[in-house]
A and B are shown apart, each in its own frame.
Chain A
Amino acid sequence: MNRHHQAHQQDRIEEQLRQTLPPMPANAEPARDLWPELLRRIDAAAPEPTFTGFGLLDQPWFDGALVAGLVVFAVSVPASIPVLLYYL
């Protein structure tokens, strides 16, 4: 098959394809407002706040204060150390 014939055949298949699948309208717009759906996805993916009563446990300082309190308690009452270690 020579190059000219091949190019001609290629053009015909291209034309056949265009006739089979006509181009879509250039100025097509969505039929509905898509923003609310997108907003729902964004909201659904937002991390859920963890429920911790008054939110105290969310604070890093609260963790520190709890550890400090335990240390003070252990120093004040050395007999409690084995009990604390058992529960930790």
Chain B
Amino acid sequence: MPEHDDNLIARFRQGGQEAFESLFREHQGAVYGWVLRIVRDRAAAEDLTVETFWRIYQARAHFDPARAFAPWARRIATRAALDWLRARRPEDALSDEMLAAVPAAPAADPALAAEIREKTARAFTRLPPKLRVAALLAVVEEQPQAEVAAALGISVAAVKLRVFRVLRLLRKDLERQGIKP
């Protein structure tokens, strides 16, 4: 991704609307894609993209021009998405989009496979949002752990620990439901 000239960043930091629109047009796709990976709901991802850029606009004076814009935006987007996840009730977290038809994996009993998937999804939504986000980005979306760590504002070791906790909690929850992974 191309980095911006100092002039654009300086005008953005001073509140220049044209400079902000340039940054928005260039980064909105990446921010939307990142948020979508976390919330897995297209309409919510659009609203959160607006929310992210609104927060970016409000925090423009705090942006360090020596750093890249994209990781900063991703971190703000991650916080906005986490706030959204925290505000939702667990029973609402399982959208139809989240449970959308999974590419049919060969299974001896498709009905059983579907049941296992649904129980896994429900167990996943019961996890704390900060653990869910780490697992979604690092395991499901296979994003580089360093990038996930930067977006969450934690170390790579902490990302690994969160993923480990997710897998352990999922295993226990599934075992309670009579499924042996």
Contact = CB atoms under 8 A, between A and B. Distances in A.
Q: How large is the interface on A (under 10, 10 to 19, 20 to 34, 35 or more residues)?
A: 20 to 34
Interface in B84-135: 98, 100, 102-103, 105, 116-117, 120-121, 124, 135
Contact of B170 (A17, A29, A32): A17
Contact of B167 (A10, A20, A37, A41): A10
B142 interface: yes
A21 B181 contact: no
Instruction: Tell me the dominant secondary structure on chain A's binding face.
Output: helix
Contacts, number: 94
Interface string A1-33: 000000001101110111111111011111110
Contact of B17 (A12, A37, A42): A42
Nearest to A10: B167
A68 B106 CA distance: 90
Interface of A: 9-10, 12-14, 16-24, 26-32, 34-35, 37-39, 41-42
